[in-house]
A and B are shown apart, each in its own frame.
Chain A
Amino acid sequence: MPQVTYTDHLGGQCTVEANVGDSVMETAVRNGVPGIVAECGGSLSCATCHVFVEPADFAGLPPMEDMEDEMLYGAAVDREETSRLSCQVRLADGAHLHVTTPATQV
């Protein structure tokens, strides 16, 4: 079962078990993890599920598509090297991803 460890901007952490194929965003929202808003429910329309992926995990993710890349330029907190929209990051069996949420999403 995949797992995601979410760290908020103040350093608070929680680890959640996820379903294979679910996104990092869905896993957070369904379990009430704060720091990810996801207004559009994962349809790549709002950029309110921005996360910074731990560099070691980032390299293993499939590359992002243009739409995600462009949406990230409008995120409430400026993007960094390992920024992703968490609705586009799907979890494979056995994966354990580590992400940090920005101070705000809106």
Chain B
Amino acid sequence: MAGLLIIGSSQAGVSLATSLRALGHDGAITLLGDENHRPYQRPALSKEFLQGEVSKESLIFRTADYWAAHHIDVVKNERILRITKEADGSGVAYALSGAEFGFDRLALTVGARARKLLLPGVDLPGVLYLRNADDALELKARVPAARRIVVIGGGFIGIEAAASLNKMGRTVTLLESGPRLAGRAVGEETAARLLEHHRSRGIDIVLEAQVARIVPRGDRVAGVELADGTLVEADLVLVGVGVIPNTELAESLGLLCDNGIRVDRYAVASDGVTVAVGDCANLPNPVPGAPEGDRVRFESVNNAIEQAKVAAYALTGRQEEYAGIPWFWSNQGEVKLQIAGLSTGHDRVLVRRDEAKGRFSVLYYRGERILAADCINAPLDFMAVKNALAKGANIPFAAASEAAVQLKSVTVEPAAAAAN
């Protein structure tokens, strides 16, 4: 069947297919994934799913009836190895199974894969990654027999999993190679707050930890050895050291790639016809006021959804730019971290604390202008900043400095903000 072939059936692919149908597009759509699961949501894998609070069934995006009623052909368990494509954007995708999928137009929502640790011992059973449902199922199956768990990598996945495993009663050590937690995602003040919180909950966190090797005992994991010779005992090691965008298929088609598949602001790749969406796409920074030529690659649900809408428009012949402000969340045990906007280019920060209520937020400014906020258990601040950024409004630094003030009440609307 020709029509649109969407390769990758996670958040970006699902959002693209459903956005197209919401726009009234009635052409054939094939939504193809390489896992043996119906399309499912990933965020809970390191949290509620790992802890057994939600079932696999509850992660499913849409019922079979929805896909059938909307004439979206969902294909599982097919890994595309090779694609041929004509100048008009049509072509054929060839799968490992021998199956062939013809298309009139191609969408790459191929995501990213876990970066592998290249050290002695990483191939031992009991050294795991956490990217997809099979990873989560294996981790979940091994946790009951594990007493001590070492998590390598203090990014969101590592911290979330460490917090979950700690709550499940395991002795958890988190090893981070950098000077602070979540260094890629949050500022110093937020990182310090996360460190303090998770240490207070009993997670042993080692910063600037240089992992030398995984130490075996027979054919199993005995622990993780650091460069200074310290041995951290473990019967399970979880590695979360970032992801690599899956650009190989795009590169084989001659599409420009640079930290992801390069797309324009309409989600269209360098051949002018193929679209790329989600973790695999490198796009012009969509934030209003971003430096000309600045590019970003997001690893977020919000981006997958928003960029999919843009791509759905492009596929139906309309040019609509990315709307909305990037936002991110990470639930880490009792920490609900919500991030609105991008703090890149900030020159000062404002920390708001309400210790009695356990609220903590960091607002990032460039001059008088608010750029972003990291909020821990502070949803009012988060929503106020997210909504202000979305409207082009400002929250003046001085007014926000008052701890008791509600940010929503001191937000300055766009016309007034521009006059400032």
Stretch among B55-63, B214-222, B235-243 lining the A interface: B55-63
Stretch among B40-48, B116-124, B254-262, B412-420 lining the A interface: B40-48
Could you tell me if B383 and A47 are in contact, using CB atoms closer than 8 angstroms? yes
Asked if B380 is at the interface (CB within 8 A of a chain A CB), the reply is: yes
Q: Taking CB as reference atom, which chain B residue is nearest A70?
A: B379
Asked if B336 is at the interface (CB within 8 A of a chain A CB), the reply is: yes
Q: Using Cβ atoms and an 8 Å threshold, which residues of chain B touch A46?
A: 302, 327, 329
Q: How many residue-residue contacts, CB under 8 A, span A and B?
A: 68
Q: Using Cβ atoms and an 8 Å threshold, which residues of chain B touch A26?
A: 58
Q: Using Cβ atoms and an 8 Å threshold, which residues of chain A touch B336?
A: 44-45, 67
- B392 smallest CB distance to A (angstroms): 15
Our pick among B329, B384, B386 for the contact of A40 (Cβ within 8 Å) is: B329
- B372 smallest CB distance to A (angstroms): 16
The proximity string for B residues 52-70 relative to A, scoring 1 for CB distances below 8 Å and 0 otherwise, is 0000001011110110011
Stretch among A4-12, A29-37, A54-62, A95-103 lining the B interface: A29-37
Asked if A63 is at the interface (CB within 8 A of a chain B CB), the reply is: no
Could you tell me if B66 and A74 are in contact, using CB atoms closer than 8 angstroms? no
Q: Using Cβ atoms and an 8 Å threshold, which residues of chain B touch A71?
A: 379, 383
Give the complex CA separation of A40 and B331 in angstroms. Answer: 11
Asked if A39 is at the interface (CB within 8 A of a chain B CB), the reply is: yes
Question: What count of chain A residues pass the 8 Å CB interface test?
Answer: 24
Give the complex CA separation of A67 and B63 in angstroms. Answer: 29
Q: Taking CB as reference atom, which chain B residue is nearest A43?
A: B331
Contact A73:B70 (CB < 8 A) given known A22-B58, A31-B63:
no
Classify chain B's interface size.
35 or more
Asked if B85 is at the interface (CB within 8 A of a chain A CB), the reply is: no
Contact A41:B301 (CB < 8 A) given known A30-B66, A74-B379:
yes
Give the complex CA separation of A67 and B377 in angstroms. Answer: 8
Asked if A1 is at the interface (CB within 8 A of a chain B CB), the reply is: no
Could you tell me if A30 and B379 are in contact, using CB atoms closer than 8 angstroms? no
Asked if B9 is at the interface (CB within 8 A of a chain A CB), the reply is: no
Could you tell me if A39 and B305 are in contact, using CB atoms closer than 8 angstroms? yes
Our pick among A30, A39, A43, A67 for the contact of B62 (Cβ within 8 Å) is: A30
Could you tell me if A32 and B62 are in contact, using CB atoms closer than 8 angstroms? yes
Q: Taking CB as reference atom, which chain B residue is nearest A30?
A: B63
The proximity string for B residues 387-408 relative to A, scoring 1 for CB distances below 8 Å and 0 otherwise, is 1001000000000000000001
Could you tell me if B302 and A39 are in contact, using CB atoms closer than 8 angstroms? yes
Give the complex CA separation of A92 and B384 in angstroms. Answer: 34
Could you tell me if A30 and B384 are in contact, using CB atoms closer than 8 angstroms? no
Give the complex CA separation of A30 and B60 in angstroms. Answer: 8
Q: Using Cβ atoms and an 8 Å threshold, which residues of chain B touch A30?
A: 60-63, 66
- B19 smallest CB distance to A (angstroms): 11
Which residues of B347-380 have CB atoms within 8 Å of chain A's CB atoms?
Answer: 377, 379-380
Could you tell me if B41 and A41 are in contact, using CB atoms closer than 8 angstroms? yes
Asked if B22 is at the interface (CB within 8 A of a chain A CB), the reply is: yes
Could you tell me if A73 and B62 are in contact, using CB atoms closer than 8 angstroms? no
Q: Using Cβ atoms and an 8 Å threshold, which residues of chain B touch A67?
A: 336, 377, 379
Give the complex CA separation of A41 and B63 in angstroms. Answer: 15
Q: Could you show 15 A-B contacts with beta carbons less than 8 Å apart? A: A30-B60, A32-B70, A34-B22, A40-B43, A43-B43, A43-B47, A45-B329, A45-B336, A67-B336, A71-B379, A73-B408, A74-B382, A74-B383, A74-B386, A74-B387
Which 7 A/B pairs are nearest by Cβ-Cβ distance?
Answer: A74-B383, A45-B329, A70-B379, A32-B66, A71-B379, A41-B41, A70-B380
For the complex with contacts A70-B383, A74-B384, 19 further pairs of A-B residues with Cβ separation under 8 Å are A30-B60, A30-B61, A30-B66, A31-B62, A31-B65, A31-B66, A32-B62, A39-B302, A40-B43, A41-B301, A43-B47, A43-B329, A43-B331, A45-B331, A45-B338, A71-B379, A73-B380, A73-B383, A106-B390
